[in-house]
Amino acid sequence: MNATLSNATLSTVPAELAGKVVTPDDRRYRPLRSTYTTVGRPAAVVLPESAGDVAAALRLARETGLRVAVRSGGHGLSGSGTNDGGLVIDLSALHRIDVLDRGSRLVRVEAGARWAQVAQALAPHGLAISSGDHGNVGVGGIATGGGVGWLVRRYGLTIDHIRAVEVVLPDGTAVRADAETDPDLLWVMRGAGAGAGIAVAFEIEAMELRDVGHTQLVAAVDPAGQTLRRWADVMAQAPRELSTAVMLSSQGTTTAAFITAVVASDSPSVIRDALEPLLGIGDVRAQQTHIVPYTELVPPHHLHTNSGQMPASTTNGLLTDMTPDAARALVTAAAAPDPVLIQLRSLGGATHAPAPSATAFAHRHQNTLVVATAFPPDAPATLAAAWRPLAPHTDGAYVNFESAPDEATFTRAYPGPTRTRVTDLWKRYDPDGVLRPGPPA
């Protein structure tokens, strides 16, 4: 139920939230009301500084009947980190990062941190976590949904290395879930956490890493998509150290693939051997390869206020094989009269290591993540038209790149027995649907 915070209602704000509830007449409201893609008009934004504050915010939501949105502070393509007329729980004040045990590479990261901050904090220890491709991405959203980053084929998904989660359940109970204590909650928080509880901190096993190989290439793409098929073939045989992201761009009849390649190594020979096959996918022009600190890939200058500055509609799907028809459909979508941004992220490698049932992210055999984004004025219609011929080639989806979640996208993200288990656990931990971001009903 939606409601509005009145002066009378404000008198019921829990004492522990004094000074932490921001309403529209507060000068702090404007930079807090929106996400990266969506301008919101919530009745209030709560800025908790502890798990107890999060519980108090949930209690306030129950007492006022306000719909809840949870925000970890970063990009958030769906816009679900804000709402109109509801209560936003903004976790950005929970941003502490600690190395708990250097020997086992165990770190504790609070959910409101952003990955640029995490990279900076871990760099002096020679550690890193694969965690998205932009420093402004928030920890909480990606660490409960999946985590496809610059090191994904070497490290796997972010969720694959989460060993424990500190969670505030919708009833206000604070718990710590690990493999021995509440393994069901740990399972659902790793891939489908948005409907079970509010994660306030994660214990994550980082990897040994300081410097990486980094290069950008541009390749001409033929209408039949042979260039994309050769890229996919190279990635299928590539060492795990190599991860790539491809952006397709068309001007008139010409389509180009802008490829960012990252090699999780500081060895010049390893970097050279990993990158060389990419030069054979077609007409490739390569910029000079550099060995750079990992922090340069998610730098602090990425950090910014989110003010709805990038309105867009986004959807995605996973490809197991880059078939001729799939490759042709990708080029056609990128070259459509109405502009659609098509991005490809390489999977495989370490992402295939866990069993499909190990986490709520069950997609462990697919090799490519395809992300399509359309922009105003007619973003939803443009996206739907571009995605229609691509959809039959996809096998599953990734919840974090979906801006209009519905029953169909839920089923694609959580197929078969995973859907059943996610549904059951969401209803167990949140029987009243306080946090439920969409299906199940």
- The pLDDT of residue 7 is 47
Percent of the chain with pLDDT over 70: 96
Q: Which of 376, 366, 311, 363 is nearest to 344 (CA)?
A: 366
Give the residues across from 322 on adjacent strands: none
Label residue 34 left, alpha or beta by phi (over 0 means left) and psi (-120 to 50 means alpha).
Answer: beta
- The pLDDT of residue 80 is 86
**CATH 3.30.43.10 intervals, the chain:** 7-90
Q: Across all residues in the chain, what is the average pLDDT?
A: 94
What's the mean pLDDT in 30-39? 92
SS3 of 43-54: CEEECCCCHHHH
Would you state the torsion angle of the CA atoms of residues 86, 92, 94, 96, taken in this order, to the nearest 10 degrees? Answer: 170
**CATH 3.40.462.20 intervals, the chain:** 212-404
| Residue carrying structure tokens 């086992």 | 104
Distance between CA atoms of 277 and 290, rounded to whole angstroms?
17
| Per-residue pLDDT at 34 exceeds 90 | yes
| Per-residue pLDDT at 3 exceeds 50 | no
Q: Out of 3.40.50.970, 3.40.50.12280, 3.40.462.20, 3.30.1860.10, which CATH number does the structure's domain 212-404 have?
A: 3.40.462.20
What's the mean pLDDT in 162-191? 98
Confidence of residue 2 (pLDDT cuts 50, 70, 90): very low
What's the mean pLDDT in 362-387? 96
Whether the CB-CB separation of 113 and 280 falls below 8 Å is answered with: no
Confidence of residue 440 (pLDDT cuts 50, 70, 90): low
Confidence of residue 266 (pLDDT cuts 50, 70, 90): very high
Distance of CA 49 to the CA centre of its chain: 23
Confidence of residue 8 (pLDDT cuts 50, 70, 90): very low
- The pLDDT of residue 5 is 56
CATH of domain 7-90: 3.30.43.10
Confidence of residue 1 (pLDDT cuts 50, 70, 90): very low
| Per-residue pLDDT at 31 exceeds 70 | yes
What's the mean pLDDT in 174-192? 98
Among 75-79, 111-115, 183-187, whose mean pLDDT is lowest? Answer: 75-79
Among 17-31, 47-61, 358-372, 424-438, whose mean pLDDT is lowest? Answer: 424-438
Among 6-20, 21-35, 40-54, whose mean pLDDT is lowest? Answer: 6-20
**CATH 3.30.465.10 intervals, the chain:** 97-209
Other CB atoms within 10 A of residue 104 CB: 10
Whether the CB-CB separation of 281 and 231 falls below 8 Å is answered with: yes
How many Å is the maximal CA-CA distance in the chain? 68
- The pLDDT of residue 10 is 53
Q: Which of 416, 418, 417, 424 is nearest to 440 (CA)?
A: 424
| Per-residue pLDDT at 4 exceeds 80 | no
Among 117-126, 193-202, 250-259, whose mean pLDDT is lowest? Answer: 250-259
| Per-residue pLDDT at 104 exceeds 90 | yes
Q: What is the pLDDT of residues 139-150, one digit of tens each?
A: 999 999 999 999
Looking at residue 431, its amino acid is: P
Architecture, CATH, for domain 97-209: 2-Layer Sandwich (3.30)
With 0-12 / 13-18 / 19 or more C-beta atoms within 10 angstroms meaning exposed / middle / buried, residue 321 is: middle
Whether the CB-CB separation of 370 and 148 falls below 8 Å is answered with: no
- The pLDDT of residue 78 is 76
